[in-house]
Structure 1
Amino acid sequence: MCGLLTFISANGTAGLFKGPIGEAVEHLHHRGPDETGVELIDEDAVLAHKRLSVIDVASSHQPMWYAEGRYVMTFNGEIYNYKELRAELQRDFGAVFRTDGDGEVILAGYHHWGPSVTSRLRGMFAFVIWDRAERRAFGARDPFGIKPMFYLQTPQGVLFSSEKKALMPFVDPRDIDEANLSHYLTLQYPPEPGTMHRAIKRIGSGYQVVFDPGQPHEQAQPVTSARYYRADFQPRPVDDPRRLYDEILEVVRESVRIHMRSDVPVGAFLSSGIDSTGVVALAREFNPGILTFTMGFDVPGHYNELDVAQESARDLGVTSIGTKIGAREMMEELPRIVWHLDDPVADPALVPLYFVAKKAAEYVTVAIGGEGADEFFGGYTIYREPLSLKGVQALPQSMQSGLRAVSKVIPEGVKGKSFLQRGTTPLEERFKGNATIFEEAEKQLLMRRYNPAVRYTDVTGPVYAECQGLDPTTRMQYVDIYTWLRGDILVKADRMSMAHSLEVRVPFLDPEVFKVAAKIPLDEKVPSKIAGQTKHALRMALASVVPPAIVNRAKMGFPTPTRVWLKDEMFAWADHILSTSGAGEYLDLGYARKLLHEHRAGTADNSRKVWTVLVFCTWFAIFVDKTLDPGIRRADSQLAAKPAVGSVVS
């Protein structure tokens, strides 16, 4: 895995930027500690790269050149079908390769196939190619957004980067996008394509981008983008469920097989659920000695997955390496975790993932995980909600209006109130994605400058519009793929692993796997006759390879005991942050402290709300106020304080 930073000049002055780009790419050192490449390509381009050597370790250096110097590329990711594409390019075009890696396949593919190369790539990727003959930059991001790509357009040119922090020296840190702050408080992450800084954007998953600086002394055109991939669900009835299960098992097995391609050791994350267990069970077919890693907390009860995961490892005949943390480690590491995130993401599951990745990195360079199975196969419990609400939703609109009025007068906490409210609310208004933190009325109390015109529907509305005609559960899956998955799940998978120079691969998030998942009918995802079950077809498909006790186990997903700790061990720490943070410029931290004290008293479970504010305060102190040193690397901390770089391009 790697980190890229590319500058394309709008006025032929790239030479002025080699030094600043070389400094800024050091913010990405954790993404690629093996090699650093910074090259002034010509008067138009500076390409910088940090390499984590995984495939073709001895070669495949970047920036990478092709076609006698016409093209040069920086690339982050892995192309799992590179061997097959390489053979096809050699057969059809006589393509010549100087390396044995996957990166050169992208360059050869672009040379011979043009922009359509992105539709042929099976993997996770973000790359930028500078075409010196056409004076054009072409870039792309993988179909599901596994790998990140940020960009910043300025009068001097465009910068592309694997992480936002490498672009921060070139912007005003106080230019916060308050609309995305509002979305963060609702969703627990700032949604794509924006970030928490107004000037820095993200390239969308499944998008290509082009930047043409034009002729010298002409005004450069803005970055243009085009979508090359969309997740197209087409559920259909099945005559033979067993055949469907076999098809799922084989496509997942094949995806795991090619995801195991590596010239360095590969391990796996193992929790107590069927997704990671299934991946490990299939991975051991290709590597019987695969190491697995899991995480637990020093809190009694359901917060500890170690026992179940290690039992599964014994059943599968693989080695399990566990790690356990407490509240102290969580508090100490939060600044480093938030620094790696770039933007605040208030998912507490970030913390165990950070620590399990740290442990895995002591043994392997690559780990595989189970991300994406829930979104593809219907794994979240909330996906069953349309079944329970079906009776109410089928009533005439006049009756629904009456029931909605009744729900408003029922006191809070009375059984049935929430059911009536949700049952009489259209899907587009009740499902915001997998997490909802603050409601609008609460944000009015919390935000200093609450804007009622900014609503979560600004984010979800366009996504719902793309999946009209599908059943409600499948629409929820689609919304999650384009909000929750790429805004939360994949951000934490990428940043928490790369924090330790560990590459994480996700075999479920594969276009070939999605082709099969896309056609699964509703009753094979959330069967009406099996109470509480989700992703039924996937469970049946994996039943022959995972331990029987795991097949119907409810999802846990590295649960974090913040609810418990904020009442006791973490209370004083949290209260101090809320009492002293400079983020009070944007949030009423007195209101946040009230939520914390209510939580400690046990009158309400405000743990997720308090955690959301704490993460924002920590982010603000690191990236805006710069009053908190996360203690990553001394060189990076000094770089972050350099104001001169920001004056070059702003």
Structure 2
Amino acid sequence: MCGIVSLYNKRNVPVDQETISSLTRVILHRGPDDDGFHLADNVALGFRRLSIIDVSGGHQPFYNETKDIWIIGNGEIYNYQELRNWLIDCGHVFQSESDIETILHLYEQVGFDAPKHLRGMFGFTIWDGQKKLLFGARDHFGIKPLYYTETADSIAVGSEIKSLLELPGVKREVNPTSFYHYLTFQYVPDPATMYQGIYRVPPAHYFVIKDDQITLQQYWEAKFTPDESKPFSYFVEGTREVLLDSVNKHRVSEVPRGAFLSSGVDSSSIVGMLRTFEPVKTFSVGSDIPGYSELDYARRTAQYLGTEHHEVIVNAQHYMKELPRLVWHQDEPVADPSAILLNFVAELASEHVTVVLSGEGADEFFGGYNIYREPHSLRMFAHMPGWLKSSLRSFAEKLPDHVKGKNFLIRGSKTVEERFFGNALIFSEELKAQVVTENLRTSANYRSPWTITEEIYKRASEYDDVTKMQYLDIHTWLRGNILMKADKMTMANSLELRVPFIDTKVFEFAATIPTKYKIANGTTKHVLREAMKDFLPPEIKTRPKLGFPVPTRHWLKNEFYKWAKEIIFEAKVDHLINKAYVLYMLDEHREGHGDYSRKIWTILIFMLWHQIFIEQKYSFEPFVSPTVEIRRKKNASMQQIG
């Protein structure tokens, strides 16, 4: 696990060492163990290393036998041993045991098809001195981040936006369209970012930089292929088999491992399966507010599974103290309060291990979100004629908000494409009109959230409604929220996070499960629960999904209220946000006249991000967490004992 930066000079001028060093230095937290550079022609590669595989010999960049093809990479390739053996048989000579070097020789063998052969998480760049091009790719689901930007002089690609911001000529400007979409989704959907002129390399895409231009190409697509001919037992047994294989593959490392543990099926399943292979250290986080902590359940699960368990409790003061630094680590605003909470359990884990396994992706692959049950609850509307649905909607919209059943009628009269924008829908279009300034509302930058979801729904047009929702979440929520916070908050603590559910082999099997076996028996991800029942305490197997509860609703009425008012007044965003309406929501929330916590938090995180990155009110130096030094000393002591 590492951080990478690549720089291509369009004027065919050699890149200065200090320039690439400055772009690499700012992501010290992603790789505190080592750095490495390669400068050739008009290209520079910069690398920060967190040592996981081939600790002694895995220094990057790697090069081929003739030293005219070089690679830097971030991530882990879980099938690298099989690929390595095949490539050796093909005549390739390796200089290390590193999985990243395998990608280099794979590129020599199959060219731009290399990413198709990889099983794992990755973002990498290859300089091909023979063909004078930069080639790189991002993994199938977007587990690892990869961004790019272009100036008059250069094209830059990196693991984090903060590296690109160090490049002369890159402007710190808000993308107004991204701001609009952020208000809907609580993150900025691919391929845009919150910055004008900075973009993500989308998951399952590779890029080529040649002749002063960057082009992108998709190399893989997630497709659901439900098999109605197989019995329920087939999918239960197959799920157990493919997940055990994935967990085993995700164990590869030369450093200590552990796992995050909440109170739900997903993380508990990972720990239960991992426990069949080795002793496990587990890590949990909770709040000090009653009703907002799952630590009791996690503790009992750890005891049942026999793990070495560690936990941390976070209060409002601790959360608030760390918030600015963690928004800096995120690069762009993500208004998921649990993203910040994730940092604290990552910090705890980093004292003990270098790698953690976690349960992200199970909901999207196996049908776990409670909202996926909605098509079943709305089935009475499925065969109604369009005119009747339209009449019901018109009638319901005229009802007072407090009338029971109003929202049910409105949602039932809409298609899934009309009502579902993913797991978060923060501001409706009507409320956006209240929150943004009039100048922004009437500008040409406005884009409906339909411009994001419409194309995705078109590709899923043949699926049933539940599968459409899964497909949309895989292409928006999973990559934009879940995986982004997982990467940024763990790497802030120099900790590698691995997600065995988010694996191409796992998805290929999960994609064959019919909806009738995913949403069944009054619950979600029914197949997964049955497949994992032998690994879990009985109380966890049937537990509904709770997520990562954070008491922002409570804190905004109390501990965070004064801070919230201050940031609303101080942030220089009057050209974007109607502050009077935000203050109105804050006071209405405090007085208990409505729950505006998600909406207020979305605005506050954007304002704080704006102060950090646009106004540059805060300054953060490259930083390695003290817990990493504690871990290093422990590891060194263990090695001496060994």
Q: Which amino acid aligns with 1:510?
A: D
Q: Counterparts of 1:633 and 1:520 in 2: how far apart (Å)?
A: 45
Tell me what 1:539 maps to: 529
Tell me what 1:490 maps to: 483
Tell me what 1:216 maps to: none
Q: Would you say the 8 A contact 2:14–2:41 is kept in 1?
A: yes
Q: Which SS does the other structure have where 1:583 is aligned?
A: coil
RMSD value, Cα? 1.3
Tell me what 2:465 maps to: 472
Tell me what 1:512 maps to: 505
Post-superposition offset of 1:451: 4.8
Post-superposition offset of 1:169: 2.4
Choose from 211, 219, 233 the match for 1:228: 219
Q: Counterparts of 1:429 and 1:239 in 2: how far apart (Å)?
A: 33
Q: Which SS does the other structure have where 1:140 is aligned?
A: strand
Tell me what 1:129 maps to: 126
Post-superposition offset of 1:160: 0.5
Map 1:411-490 onto structure 2 (within 5 A): 411-448=400-437, 449-451=440-442, 453-490=446-483
Q: Which SS does the other structure have where 2:312 is aligned?
A: strand
Tell me what 1:117 maps to: 114
Q: Which SS does the other structure have where 1:444 is aligned?
A: helix
Map 1:315-330 onto structure 2 (within 5 A): 315-330=304-319
Map 1:278-357 onto structure 2 (within 5 A): 278-287=269-278, 289-301=279-291, 303-357=292-346
Tell me what 1:67 maps to: 65
Q: How many residues align?
A: 619
Choose from 186, 189, 192 the match for 1:191: 189
Q: Which SS does the other structure have where 1:152 is aligned?
A: strand
Tell me what 1:643 maps to: none
Q: Which SS does the other structure have where 1:180 is aligned?
A: helix
Choose from 204, 217, 225 the match for 1:206: 204
Q: Counterparts of 1:605 and 1:421 in 2: how far apart (Å)?
A: 21
Post-superposition offset of 1:25: 1.1
Tell me what 1:266 maps to: 257
In the alignment, is residue 566 of structure 1 matched against residue 564 of structure 2?
A: no
Q: Which SS does the other structure have where 1:286 is aligned?
A: coil
Map 1:77-116 onto structure 2 (within 5 A): 77-91=75-89, 93-116=90-113
Choose from 358, 365, 385 the match for 2:354: 365
Map 1:373-392 onto structure 2 (within 5 A): 373-392=362-381
Q: Counterparts of 1:295 and 1:173 in 2: how far apart (Å)?
A: 38
Q: 1:202 to 1:479 in 2, by over 3 A?
A: same
Q: Counterparts of 2:550 and 2:615 in 1: how far apart (Å)?
A: 29
Tell me what 1:549 maps to: 539
Q: Would you say the 8 A contact 2:434–2:578 is kept in 1?
A: yes
Q: Would you say the 8 A contact 1:73–1:128 is kept in 2?
A: yes
Q: 1:138 to 1:284 in 2, by over 3 A?
A: same
Q: Which amino acid aligns with 1:130?
A: W
Q: Would you say the 8 A contact 1:393–1:400 is kept in 2?
A: no
Q: Would you say the 8 A contact 1:291–1:320 is kept in 2?
A: yes
Q: Which SS does the other structure have where 2:547 is aligned?
A: coil
Q: Would you say the 8 A contact 2:84–2:102 is kept in 1?
A: yes
Tell me what 2:38 maps to: 39
Q: Would you say the 8 A contact 1:235–1:520 is kept in 2?
A: yes
Post-superposition offset of 1:155: 2.8
Report the more deviating stretch, 124-133 or 172-181.
172-181
Q: Unmatched 5+ residue regions in structure 1? A: 214-219, 635-650
Tell me what 2:633 maps to: none
Q: Counterparts of 1:260 and 1:312 in 2: how far apart (Å)?
A: 21
Q: Counterparts of 2:303 and 2:575 in 1: how far apart (Å)?
A: 53
Q: Counterparts of 2:321 and 2:98 in 1: how far apart (Å)?
A: 39
Q: Which SS does the other structure have where 1:234 is aligned?
A: coil
Identity of aligned residues (%): 42
Q: Which amino acid aligns with 2:496?
A: E
Q: 1:451 to 1:245 in 2, by over 3 A?
A: farther
Deviations 1:406-453 (A, max 9, x none): 111111121111011111112111100110111111111111212584
Tell me what 2:612 maps to: 622
Tell me what 1:640 maps to: none
Q: Which amino acid aligns with 2:9?
A: S
Tell me what 1:407 maps to: 396
Q: Counterparts of 2:343 and 2:373 in 1: how far apart (Å)?
A: 30
Q: Which SS does the other structure have where 1:404 is aligned?
A: helix
In the alignment, is residue 601 of structure 1 matched against residue 598 of structure 2?
A: no
Q: Unmatched 5+ residue regions in structure 2? A: 625-642
In the alignment, is residue 394 of structure 1 matched against residue 393 of structure 2?
A: no
Tell me what 1:141 maps to: 138
Report the more deviating stretch, 477-486 or 63-72.
63-72
Q: Would you say the 8 A contact 1:32–1:51 is kept in 2?
A: yes
Tell me what 1:30 maps to: 29
Report the more deviating stretch, 46-55 or 66-75.
66-75
Tell me what 2:164 maps to: 167
Q: Counterparts of 1:630 and 1:557 in 2: how far apart (Å)?
A: 31
Deviations 1:245-278 (A, max 9, x none): 0100010000000100000001000000000000
